[in-house]
Amino acid sequence: MFVGHYSVAFAAKSEKNRIPLWVLFVAVQFLDYIWATLVLLGIEKLRVIKGFTAGSMLDSYFHPYSHSLITAMAWSGVAALLYKTIWRAKASSSAAVIVGLAVFSHWILDLIAHPRDLAIYDDTWKVGFGLWNYRDPEFALEIALLAGGIIV
């Protein structure tokens, strides 16, 4: 999933929670920022395979710290705490929860798009519905999500 992640940021933005849109943009891609950092550090592993899926050549075959279900939940909690700590009194607890959920939404949308490479915990029990194998439906879903998110 690429641009589709941002649909959640647009949908979560409201007058009431007063979360800056840029914070939500960071939140929905938070797991990929961690992933990119860990790949650059050589901790998580990525290889490029031509035609790996119809929609992506990136085979991220080892990413237990950024993209397992358990660590995604942990990072969501960290993000909610960070938001609450940095914004202190200005941030309501519900806003912090929304930031946490925005982070977690990344995993849910990746679950739809990724081939079976998302671990439940550590590097085992891999899941993924593999929508990336179907280029046009995947692209249509991303655009529909983005449009829907902006409308909301």
**List of residues 6+ apart from 79 with CB closer than 8 A:** 27, 30, 99, 100, 102, 103
Residue type (1 letter), 83: Y
Pairing, β 45-48 against β 118-121: unpaired
- Two tokens at 52? 């790996």
Give least dist CB 4 to Zn ion, A.
11
Q: Is 129 helix (H, G, I), strand (E, B) or coil?
A: coil
Question: What does the alpha-carbon distance between residue 152 and residue 146 come to, in Å, rounded to a whole number?
Answer: 10
Look at the block and give the residue holding tokens 């979560």: 12
Look at the block and give the residue holding tokens 């690429």: 2
If the CB atoms of residues 44 and 110 are measured against Zn ion, the closer one turns out to be 110
- Two tokens at 26? 């960071």
If the CB atoms of residues 95 and 109 are measured against Zn ion, the closer one turns out to be 109
Residue 142 in contact with Zn ion, rule: CB under 5 A: no
Contact letters for Zn ion, residues 62-101 (x by CB under 5 A): ----------------------------------------
Residue 138 in contact with Zn ion, rule: CB under 5 A: no
The 8-class DSSP code of residue 133 comes to G
Contact letters for Zn ion, residues 23-42 (x by CB under 5 A): ---------x----------
If the CB atoms of residues 95 and 142 are measured against Zn ion, the closer one turns out to be 142
Residue 110 in contact with Zn ion, rule: CB under 5 A: yes
Site size toward Zn ion (CB under 5 A) is 2
Give least dist CB 94 to Zn ion, A.
25
- Nearest to residue 35, comparing CAs of 55, 53, 61? 61
Residue 44 in contact with Zn ion, rule: CB under 5 A: no
If the CB atoms of residues 32 and 142 are measured against Zn ion, the closer one turns out to be 32
Residue type (1 letter), 62: F
Residues near Zn ion (CB under 5 A): 32, 110
